[in-house]
Amino acid sequence: MARVLNADPVMLKDAAAGFLSDKATVAHLRELRDSGSEQGFASDVWQEMAEMGWAGIAIPEEFGGLGYGYTGLGIVLEQAGRNLSTGPLQSAVLVAATLIAELGNPEQKQRMLPAIASGELLVTLALQEGSHHAPLQTASSATRDGDDYVINGSKVLVLDAASAATFIVIARTGGKAGDESGLSAFLVDAGADGLSVDGRSMVDSRSAGALALNDVRVPAANLLGAEGEAWAGLSRTLDIANIGLAAELLGLSSEAFERTVAYLKERKQFGRVIGTFQGLQHRAAELFAELELARSIVLQALHAIDDGQADLALIASAAKAKLCEVAQRASNEGIQMHGGIGMTDEYEIGFFIKRARVAQHTFGDYNYHLDRFALLNGF
């Protein structure tokens, strides 16, 4: 069945496009980078986003959110991709709030989700331990000691680590690397004894960080879900996160394409506008077709979340793999068709390729999801 946006999503799209093109553009990203911002986003702009309801757009109304669903969040993320807008939409809203909703008990949900929805609380997931996304290879350990758990291990590529008040740390309470059983999720305060946070600015000028956990003691009440049974909720959360990233990559790719086509229409070479060269026309036409296909799969994937489709994992990996491929092509073509000037910092097209590479790598790149898609199909 064809998927289209009805009146309400179109209004949300227009509102998001208007706000982000005014308050959170590539020019603002450049300013944050040049100022050496540690957190990688403007707090006042993020608070405005929260006041517009975006921080709680996918959080149920009973927990202070809008209950608009992930299709609504995907629309906002697409516009954020177009403008390279920064903020904890991915870390706190797309990932952390989803995982708390998946695994948290009623008290944890009631305490944390309204605070996330209001923009007051920034929570982020601490999962990855190596150079590539491999959630089942988690080696960090959590050992029960009376009424507490003692956590040891390290994490990398923790989104918005420098700004987070709370981390959701994935650690093993049982099993061995590669096992689905034995994974547990813990709420760890950013100021906990034994926890050190090394905030870093990534190539896309956003903030991530590395965590070192040395005998970090957390109360048993900070366990999300049942001990050793976090995988089902974590896996679904990662599927939703990758669909959200696919939506962002769709916006990024569309904007890079449109800027490139505009440049082809104005740049002259050999006495002619270069957009009249058939070779460049063919490349642009092929990319346009790829973008339309990508748009369809992203919209289908967002609806799959809200509709509770059983094959969400398959759809999520298909969407992320496809958008990794399209974003790679759109950002590369953007640089190449701009020519040498596309490599300079003066032109904004270079910011798109940097963000594309980081988003592609986050929670599994093209190869990871292509392989997963094949495995889920029995190959």
What's the whole-number average pLDDT of the chain? 94
Do the beta carbons of residue 224 and residue 103 sit within 8 Å? yes
Model confidence at 2, in pLDDT bands (50, 70, 90)?
very low
Question: How much of the chain is in helix, strand and coil states, percent to nearest 5?
Answer: 55, 15, 25
Q: What is the pLDDT of residue 337?
A: 85
**Identity at 77, one-letter amino acid code:** L
> For residue 241, which of 127, 350, 129 has the smallest C-alpha distance?
127
The domains of the chain are located at: 7-121, 124-228, 232-376
Model confidence at 27, in pLDDT bands (50, 70, 90)?
very high
Neighbour count for residue 230 (Cβ, 10 Å): 29
Average pLDDT over every residue of 106-115: 97
Average pLDDT over every residue of 346-365: 95
Please state, in angstroms and rounded to a whole number, the distance separating the CA atoms of residues 371 and 376: 9
Average pLDDT over every residue of 209-237: 97
Q: What is the pLDDT of residue 266?
A: 83
Please state, in angstroms and rounded to a whole number, the distance separating the CA atoms of residues 64 and 80: 23
Do the beta carbons of residue 113 and residue 65 sit within 8 Å? yes
**Identity at 266, one-letter amino acid code:** E
Average pLDDT over every residue of 350-372: 97
Neighbour count for residue 347 (Cβ, 10 Å): 16
Average pLDDT over every residue of 101-116: 97
Please check the confidence at residue 5 and state whether its pLDDT lies above 60. Answer: no
Question: In this predicted model, what pLDDT tens digit does every residue of 258-300 receive, in sequence order?
Answer: 999 898 888 777 878 777 778 888 998 999 999 999 999 999 9
Number of DSSP helices (H) and strands (E) in the chain, helices first: 11, 10
Query: 356 to each of 81, 192, 273, 331, 351, how far by Cα in Å?
Result: 9, 34, 28, 7, 9
Average pLDDT over every residue of 95-100: 98
Please state, in angstroms and rounded to a whole number, the distance separating the CA atoms of residues 61 and 64: 5
Please check the confidence at residue 112 and state whether its pLDDT lies above 90. Answer: yes
Question: In this predicted model, what pLDDT tens digit does every residue of 159-196 receive, in sequence order?
Answer: 999 999 999 999 999 999 899 999 999 999 999 999 99
Question: In this predicted model, what pLDDT tens digit does every residue of 294-318 receive, in sequence order?
Answer: 999 999 999 999 999 999 999 999 9
Please state, in angstroms and rounded to a whole number, the distance separating the CA atoms of residues 364 and 321: 9
> For residue 89, which of 52, 60, 50 has the smallest C-alpha distance?
50
Average pLDDT over every residue of 103-132: 97
DSSP code at position 132: S
Model confidence at 1, in pLDDT bands (50, 70, 90)?
very low
Do the beta carbons of residue 241 and residue 98 sit within 8 Å? yes
Kindly report the length of the chain. Answer: 379
Please state, in angstroms and rounded to a whole number, the distance separating the CA atoms of residues 17 and 334: 22
146 Cβ contact partners less than 8 Å away, ≥ 6 residues apart: none
Please check the confidence at residue 7 and state whether its pLDDT lies above 80. Answer: no
Residue 319 three-state SS: helix
CATH architecture of 7-121: Orthogonal Bundle (1.10)
Token pair listed for 83:
């403008």
Q: What is the pLDDT of residue 4?
A: 44
Please state, in angstroms and rounded to a whole number, the distance separating the CA atoms of residues 324 and 366: 6
Q: What is the pLDDT of residue 368?
A: 97
Yes or no: is domain 124-228 CATH 3.40.50.720?
Answer: no
For the ranges 110-114, 169-173, 347-351, the lowest mean pLDDT is seen at 347-351
193 Cβ contact partners less than 8 Å away, ≥ 6 residues apart: 216, 217
**Neighbouring-strand partners of residue 152:** 141
Question: In this predicted model, what pLDDT tens digit does every residue of 231-268 receive, in sequence order?
Answer: 999 999 999 999 999 999 999 999 999 999 898 888 77
| Torsion sign (Cα): 152, 173, 92, 25 | positive
Average pLDDT over every residue of 61-83: 95
Class of domain 232-376: mainly alpha
Q: Which has more pLDDT, 174 or 344?
A: 174
Residue 104 three-state SS: coil
The proportion of the chain whose per-residue pLDDT surpasses 90, expressed as a percent, equals 86
Do the beta carbons of residue 291 and residue 81 sit within 8 Å? no
Please state, in angstroms and rounded to a whole number, the distance separating the CA atoms of residues 322 and 369: 9
Do the beta carbons of residue 252 and residue 84 sit within 8 Å? yes
> For residue 212, which of 137, 155, 149, 131 has the smallest C-alpha distance?
155
Q: What is the pLDDT of residue 251?
A: 98
Please check the confidence at residue 204 and state whether its pLDDT lies above 80. Answer: yes
Neighbour count for residue 51 (Cβ, 10 Å): 11
Q: What's the predicted TM-score (pTM) here? A: 0.95
Please state, in angstroms and rounded to a whole number, the distance separating the CA atoms of residues 180 and 33: 39
For the ranges 294-298, 337-341, 365-369, the lowest mean pLDDT is seen at 337-341
Q: What is the pLDDT of residue 210?
A: 97
Query: 197 to each of 124, 162, 210, how far by Cα in Å?
Result: 13, 7, 6
